[in-house]
């Protein structure tokens, strides 16, 4: 399974970076191949200063070795070895009317000291973080997410949408990071789903990403904007940074397992503001976004 999934994310990375380069029309992805001390490595691809994308990364990694003591405590296991592979992406467009997007699809195995697999699971999801709310974009993104879920289990979309709203939440701000999507983790074999079934589900979600995001980018990338729109985008990016550095489990795992710092922190946008005690004008488009972030919406039935 680990070889099968790793081959899948290798191909998916190629598909995603090729389409994003075509949409941008100016910038291309810089590639770094890296090795992890302790076992494994990855292929980082970063795009910067494009016509459409100000900064973004589409990264894959496959790392293995002894599970660090800090993560043994987290997983409540003893001295075990692990393998983890996945694709993680974050795209920060230049135009404030184009949303930031994040996605991740991953697979994890844990072994005893004889090499026997003692646990394995899939995780991942995809979520949208707009700076200005266009309801048709939100509905489109969630419709694609729901379609991918409905092809596997009828209750997946509602369950994983709720988990997304709950996970990507800045509790210290009492607001969501964005308008959600899907989030799932610790997807293990059970009476309903084999690991092969989970593989089919996770890869269908991965395959749906470009269909969910690309039409939104193409619809918004050439909209004219003013400096006030850009300022709001940078303030909201600050909230994005807060989530990634305070709450995100992927960042925590990467830092505690000796991951590559540049790849882990590539999700941070290049231009950000923290304005003291900032509040948007009541009734404004900016306030409309905050209302939705504080009260998650069911975008599709």
Distance CA 278, CA 284 (A): 14
Q: Phi and psi (nearest 5°) for 244?
A: -65, -35
Q: Is 140 one of the annotated active-site residues of the chain?
A: no
Distance CA 56, CA 24 (A): 12
Least confident of 33-37, 157-161, 272-276, 285-289: 33-37
pLDDT at 216: 98
pTM: 0.94
The one catalytic residue in 102, 140, 142, 152 is 102
pLDDT digits (tens, 9 = 90+) for 98-124: 999 999 999 999 999 899 999 999 999
Residue 171, H or E segment:
none
Non-local (6+) Cβ contacts of 192 within 8 A are: 153
Work out the average pLDDT over 133-154: 98
pLDDT at 87: 97
The pLDDT-based confidence of 28 (bands split at 50, 70, 90) is very high
The first and second tokens of residue 138, run together, are: 């939100």
Distance CA 175, CA 157 (A): 21
Beta bridge partners of 82: 65, 110
The first and second tokens of residue 29, run together, are: 């992805």
**Structural domains of the chain ordered from first start:** 2-294 (3.40.1500.10)
Residue 204 has a CB neighbour count (10 Å cut-off) of 14
The pLDDT-based confidence of 218 (bands split at 50, 70, 90) is very high
The pLDDT-based confidence of 76 (bands split at 50, 70, 90) is confident
Closest among 249, 103, 240, 238 to 167, alpha carbons compared: 249
| Mean pLDDT taken over the chain | 95
CB 96 within 8 A of CB 132: yes
């Amino acid at each position: 399974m680990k070889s099968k999934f790793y081959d899948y994310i290798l191909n998916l990375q190629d598909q995603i970076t090729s389409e994003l380069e075509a949409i941008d029309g100016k910038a291309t992805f810089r590639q770094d191949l890296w090795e992890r001390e302790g076992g494994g490595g990855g292929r980082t691809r970063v795009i910067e200063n494009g016509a459409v994308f100000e900064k973004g990364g589409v990264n894959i990694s496959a790392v293995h070795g002894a599970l660090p003591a800090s993560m043994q405590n987290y997983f409540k296991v003893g001295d075990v070895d692990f393998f983890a592979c996945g694709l993680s992406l974050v795209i920060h467009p230049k135009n404030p009317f184009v949303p930031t997007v994040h996605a991740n699809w991953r697979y994890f195995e844990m072994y005893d000291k004889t090499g026997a697999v003692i646990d394995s699971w899939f995780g991942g999801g995809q979520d949208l973080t707009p700076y200005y709310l266009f309801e048709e974009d939100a509905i489109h993104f969630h419709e694609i997410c729901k379609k991918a879920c409905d092809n596997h289990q009828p209750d997946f979309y509602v369950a994983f949408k709720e988990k997304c709203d709950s996970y990507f939440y800045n509790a210290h701000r009492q607001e969501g990071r964005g308008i959600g999507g899907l989030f799932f983790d610790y997807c293990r074999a059970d009476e309903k789903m084999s690991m092969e079934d989970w593989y089919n589900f996770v890869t269908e979600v991965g395959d749906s990403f470009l269909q969910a995001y690309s039409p939104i980018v193409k619809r918004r990338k050439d909209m004219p904007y003013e400096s006030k729109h850009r300022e709001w985008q940078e303030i909201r990016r600050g909230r994005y940074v807060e989530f990634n550095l305070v709450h995100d489990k992927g960042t925590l795992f990467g830092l505690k397992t000796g991951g590559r710092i540049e790849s882990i922190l590539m999700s941070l946008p290049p231009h950000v503001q923290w304005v003291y005690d900032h509040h948007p004008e009541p009734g404004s488009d900016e306030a409309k976004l905050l209302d939705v972030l504080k009260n998650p919406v069911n975008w599709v039935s």
